[in-house]
Structure 1
Amino acid sequence: MRPQHEPERITDLSRLRAFMNPLRMQLYRLLYAAGAATASQLAEHVAETPSLVSYHLRKLAEHGFVRQASGQGGDGRERWWEVASQEGWGFRDSDFADTPEGAAAVGAVSRSMLDTRVAQYRTYLDQKPAWGKEWSDASFTSEWLLNLNPAELAELSSELEALVRRWRERGQAAGAAGDTAGREHVSVHFYGFPFRP
Structure 2
Amino acid sequence: MANDETRWITDVKALKVFTHPLRIKLYRALHASRKATASQLAEQVDEAVSLVSYHLRKLAEHGFIVEAPDESSDGRERWWQPSSERSVRVRSSDFAGQPEGAAVMSEMNRQMLATRYERYSRYLDQHGAWPQAWEDVAFSSEYLVRLTSEEMRQLGEEMDALTRRWQDRGRAADEAGDTEGREHVALHLYGFPFRD
- TM-score, structure 1 normalization: 0.94
Structure 2: gaps of 5 or more residues: none
Match of 1:104 in 2: 103
Q: Which residue of 1 aligns with 2:81?
A: 82
Cα shift readout 1:72-93 (whole Å, capped 9, x = no counterpart): 2333221111111101211101
* Cα distance in structure 2, aligned partners of 1:141 and 1:21: 27
Residues in 1 aligned to 2:166 and 2:85: alpha-carbon distance in whole angstroms:
14
The aligned counterpart of 1:157 is 156
Instruction: State how far apart, in whole Å, the 2-side matches of 1:141 and 1:188 are.
Output: 9
Runs of 4+ residues deviating >4 angstroms? none
Distance across 1 between alignment mates of 2:173 and 2:42:
30
Write out aligned runs for 1:49-88 (5 A): 49-88=48-87
Over the aligned positions, Cα root-mean-square deviation in angstroms equals 1.3
- What is aligned with 2:14? 15
Structure 2 match to 1:38? 37
Report whether the alignment pairs 1:129 with 2:125: no
Question: Please, which moves more after superposition, 129-138 or 92-101?
Answer: 92-101
Cross-structure match for 2:28 = 29
Which residue matches 1:170? 169
Distance in 1, matches of 2:133 and 2:160, equals 26
Give 1:100 deviation, angstroms.
1.6
* Alpha-carbon distance change, 187 to 132 in structure 1, aligned in 2, over 3 angstroms: same
Distance across 1 between alignment mates of 2:45 and 2:177:
30
> Following the alignment from structure 1 to structure 2, what is the Cα–Cα distance between the partners of residues 137 and 163?
22
Which residue does the alignment assign to 2:47?
48
Q: Distance in 2 between matches of 1:62 and 1:50?
A: 18
Q: What amino acid is the match of 1:183? A: R
Give the paired residue count. Answer: 194
Instruction: Provide the C-alpha distance between the structure 2 equivalents of 1:193 and 1:56, rounded to a whole number of angstroms.
Output: 31
Q: TM-score under structure 2 normalisation?
A: 0.94
Task: Report % sequence identity.
Answer: 54
Work out whether 1:188 is the aligned partner of 2:149: no
Gaps of 5+ in 1: none
